[in-house]
Chains A and B, each alone.
Chain A
């Protein structure tokens, strides 16, 4: 029996074990939506803006390690997905974005709501398709899911003209793929693994840089065995947090621009860096010219193009982290680095990683710390972008594997609410906290309606400092306190939540924090806490832009490792 393109799409999604689709309707996807009632096993979540659909699919994907699916109509629907697709691309999250396109006869004629979305998304997708023949649709969907979910994951977009959705053909879902240009290297080269192991066995001051690749590969056990066996301290990139117990003696916390003093000092003084599933992002490495000057570098990553892209590498190992570490654990010797660890402990004492200054004011660090205490770390933390993100990264002790969802590479404010919604739908059994800034919260605040409509029990903590906090911090530190347009007039977020039928409380004082968090957790559904935090609280330490990792700065402490060139931090 022949089926329409829309039916073929739905049946193909079911073959790919899709359960949830985040989307918004429009003229060019009506045939698809028209068939949804025939496929009740596909749960459609109606968002209020397509950006929300893309971020929600991203959050869902990161929470489940399966491709998140979002759908939007042609033209503005498709372009509204762009930020969310780009975010998934930068952070290697698997996603299949489906867009409607105008009918084939009018493509290229600037028809109503026509937009060249495949052209637009070339640089932000792993691959994309314009399906011009219904006979190609099933194969295209199969390829899209395969590409999105294997190797280094990423988003794939499928653009389907409206008349292709209506055209009929036999539905045959292919068993095999023919992708001669797509190869995934999963096992690391044994000779490279041996070479790497030799360097590791000889190192005296090794440091691991743990990135999101460990989380993607779900190699928590192999990684912990590796770090413990070779006794190597672990510094994390932002998205590498929660791949290793944050309370472990070898854990240094996050490195980078807002990294802990001990992580940054350890990396800069290392004689060997073992970089795993990370891409030497500038926020992690700071100035690469002065980055870890005495270190040899082992780089383990599934993407060969990451090797040597930003930092020269001595021993590359290309492969899936889990497989490479399993092999590596056979090769590395059990080592002890007592002197090195005692040096690190000294840095840890000198620059306490989770120090909260004494104050009666309501500090974001304190709030994050209390969420961590109240949940015992057993929560899925979803952050926005900016200070709120850095406070979570630094003051939440990630003891549970795979418990942070944050937009690292693209850094889109407004990620938090829809991503938390998607993540909670993906892992309904877990407590999901959405930590938002008051700026970012308002960028996707409309998804509160989706949260209520779909009854998604997200706990929302708004760090309301009445300004664009991270930008304000930069204006303070690097633009001589010229605060241009960073102050925000805000609505009453508790009333806003109430209007969306989400209960909430406002917290102004320290002593109200713990009761409010408990109230949020005891409430069965979504809950909002509007934390009126100290407006001028900064996230420290900070490595000023252009400086090397060791020249971090905080009001009472400064990095002292190396000052032979460049500016002194006391000049600020």
Chain B
């Protein structure tokens, strides 16, 4: 079986130490994760985690089942196969001299990204999209000199009204 990216979405109780338990499980079972994003959900007591794990289907199914064994984890779904929407937010601080600033702003506009900070030698760009879009913009901006990047990792939901 071949390794592919899987998107796991976990609803977890919003309690101290839950992130530690999840991270500990990945380390303990030697599962590779590419990103892990966590934040609030529609339920005040629950957080939603989006985990991008790399492995074959059997390995990822093991991850899912092991995660479900954690008492603070309410539900885990592998939504890779289904229809899903995914987004990532990235902040990119790029070098910008007077001569390059307008060119950078044009690129940023094409990507429907925003400039959220302007300084004498740099611009900070906020971009939202799937990983490909973020990677493409980042690729173009590298030509100007990227000073700092911060990415949230993927967050995801299934499409449609099902939950």
Taking Cβ atoms with an 8 Å cutoff, the residues of A that contact B are: 118-119, 122-123, 126-127, 130, 147, 179-182, 303-305, 307-309
Interface contact A180-B28, CB-CB below 8 Å: no
Asked if B71 contacts A305 (CB within 8 A), the reply is no
* Residue from the set A127, A147, A179, A181 with the largest chain B CB neighbour count within 10 Å: A181
Contacts of A308 in B (CB 8 A): 58, 61-62
Known: A181-B13, A182-B71. A305 touches B20 (CB 8 A): no
Q: Which residues of A contact B69 (CB under 8 A)?
A: 303, 305
A305–B24 contact, CB under 8 A? Answer: no
Q: How far is the CB of A125 from chain B (nearest CB, A)?
A: 10
B66 at the interface (CB under 8 A from A): yes
B140 at the interface (CB under 8 A from A): no
Which chain A residue lies CB-closest to B24? A122
Contacts of B66 in A (CB 8 A): 305
Find out whether the CB atom of A127 lies under 8 angstroms from the CB atom of B58.
Answer: no
Contacts of A118 in B (CB 8 A): 17
Report how far A242 CA is from B138 CA in the complex, Å: 64
Q: Beyond A304-B65, A305-B62, is A181–B28 a contact (Cβ under 8 Å)?
A: no
Interface string of B62-92 (1 = CB under 8 A from A): 1001101111111100000000000000000
New A-B pairs, 15, CB < 8 Å, besides A127-B71, A181-B75: A118-B17, A122-B21, A126-B71, A130-B17, A179-B71, A180-B74, A181-B68, A181-B73, A181-B74, A303-B69, A304-B65, A305-B62, A307-B65, A308-B61, A309-B62
Q: How far is the CB of A304 from chain B (nearest CB, A)?
A: 5
Residue of B nearest to A304 (CB): B65
**Complex-state Cα separation, A119 to B27, whole angstroms:** 14
A305 interface neighbour in B16, B17, B65, Cβ under 8 Å: B65
- Which chain A residue has the least Cβ–Cβ distance from B67? A305
List the A side residues contacting B70 at CB < 8 Å: 127, 181
Name the distance in Å between A212's Cβ and chain B's nearest Cβ: 18
Are B65 and A181 within 8 A (Cβ)?
Answer: no
Which residue numbers of B lie inside 8 Å of A, CB to CB? 12-13, 16-17, 20-21, 24-25, 28, 58, 61-62, 65-66, 68-75
Q: Would you mind naming 17 contact pairs between A and B with Cβ atoms under 8 Å apart?
A: A119-B17, A119-B20, A122-B21, A123-B25, A127-B71, A130-B16, A179-B71, A180-B13, A181-B12, A181-B70, A181-B71, A303-B69, A304-B65, A305-B65, A305-B68, A305-B69, A308-B58
B25 to chain A, nearest CB (A): 8
Q: Which residue of B lies closest to A303 (CB)?
A: B69
Give the nearest-CB partner of B28 in chain A.
Answer: A123
The residue that B20 contacts in the complex, of A122, A179, A180, A181, with Cβ under 8 A, is A122
| Minimum-distance CB pairs A-B, first 9 | A305-B65, A127-B71, A181-B74, A122-B24, A123-B28, A180-B74, A181-B73, A182-B71, A305-B66
Contacts of A182 in B (CB 8 A): 71
Determine the chain B residues whose CB is within 8 A of the CB of A147 once the complex forms.
71
Which residue of B is nearest A306, CB measured?
A: B65
Bound-state CA distance A448–B20 (Å) is 39
Q: Which residue of B lies closest to A156 (CB)?
A: B71
Given contacts A305-B62, A308-B61, A308-B62, are A181 and B17 in contact (CB under 8 A)? no
Q: Which residue of B lies closest to A183 (CB)?
A: B68
If the complex has contacts A305-B65, A309-B62, are A181 and B24 also in contact, measured as CB distance less than 8 A?
A: no
User: What CA separation (Å) do A309 and B62 show in the bound complex?
Assistant: 7
| In the bound complex, CA of A182 to CA of B70 (Å) | 8
Q: B16 contacts which chain A residues (CB < 8 A)?
A: 130
Complex interface: chain A residues within 8 A of B71 (CB) = 126-127, 147, 179, 181-182
A308 and B56 CA atoms in complex are apart in Å by 13
A326-B136 Cα distance, complex, nearest whole Å? 59
Min C-beta distance of B78 to chain A, whole Å: 14
B153 CB to closest chain A CB, in angstroms?
A: 23
Minimum CB–CB distance for B50 against chain A, Å: 18
Q: Considering the chains assembled together, what is the distance between the CA atoms of A417 and B143 in angstroms?
A: 69
Given contacts A122-B20, A122-B21, A123-B24, contact A181 B58 (CB under 8 A): no
A179 to B70, CA, bound (A): 11
Of chain A, the residue at the smallest CB distance from B13 is A181
Chain A residues near B65 (CB, 8 Å)? 304-305, 307
Nearest CB in chain A to that of B75: its residue: A181
The residue in chain A whose Cβ has the minimal distance to the Cβ of B69 is A305
Report if A181-B21 is in contact (Cβ < 8 Å); known contacts: A123-B28, A304-B65, A305-B65.
Answer: no
Q: List, in ascending order, chain B residues with CB within 8 A of A309's CB.
A: 62
B59 to chain A, nearest CB (A): 10
Give chain B residues whose Cβ lies under 8 Å from the Cβ of A181. Answer: 12-13, 68, 70-75
**How far apart are A495's CB and chain B's nearest CB, in angstroms?**
45
> Whose C-beta in chain B lies nearest to the C-beta of A126?
B71
Distance of B142 from chain A, by nearest CB (Å): 40
Residue of B nearest to A123 (CB): B28
Min CB distance A192 to B, Å, is 16
Q: How far is the CA of A385 from the CA of B24 in the complex (A)?
A: 28
By a CB distance below 8 angstroms, the chain B residues around A303 are: 69
Residues of chain A within 8 A of B74, CB atoms compared:
180-181
Give Cα A122 to B23, complex, Å.
Answer: 11
A309 to B59, CA, bound (A): 8
| Across-interface contacts of B25 in A (CB, < 8 A) | 123
- Alpha-carbon gap, A308 to B28, bound state (A): 18
- Whole-angstrom CA separation of A181 from B73 in the bound complex: 5
Which residues of B have CB within 8 Å of A179? 71
Closest B residue by C-beta to A152: B69
User: How far apart sit A181 and B21, CA to CA, in the bound complex (Å)?
Assistant: 14
Complex: A307 Cα to B62 Cα, angstroms:
9
Q: Which residue of A lies closest to B12 (CB)?
A: A181
A181 to B15, CA, bound (A): 12
Q: Which residue of A lies closest to B70 (CB)?
A: A181
A304 touches B28 (CB 8 A): no
Name the residue in B13, B25, B71, B72 with the highest tally of chain A Cβ atoms < 10 Å from its Cβ: B71
A308 to B59, CA, bound (A): 9
Contacts of A123 in B (CB 8 A): 24-25, 28
The distance in angstroms between the C-alpha atoms of A387 and B16, with both chains bound, is 44
Bound: A127/B72 CA distance, A: 9
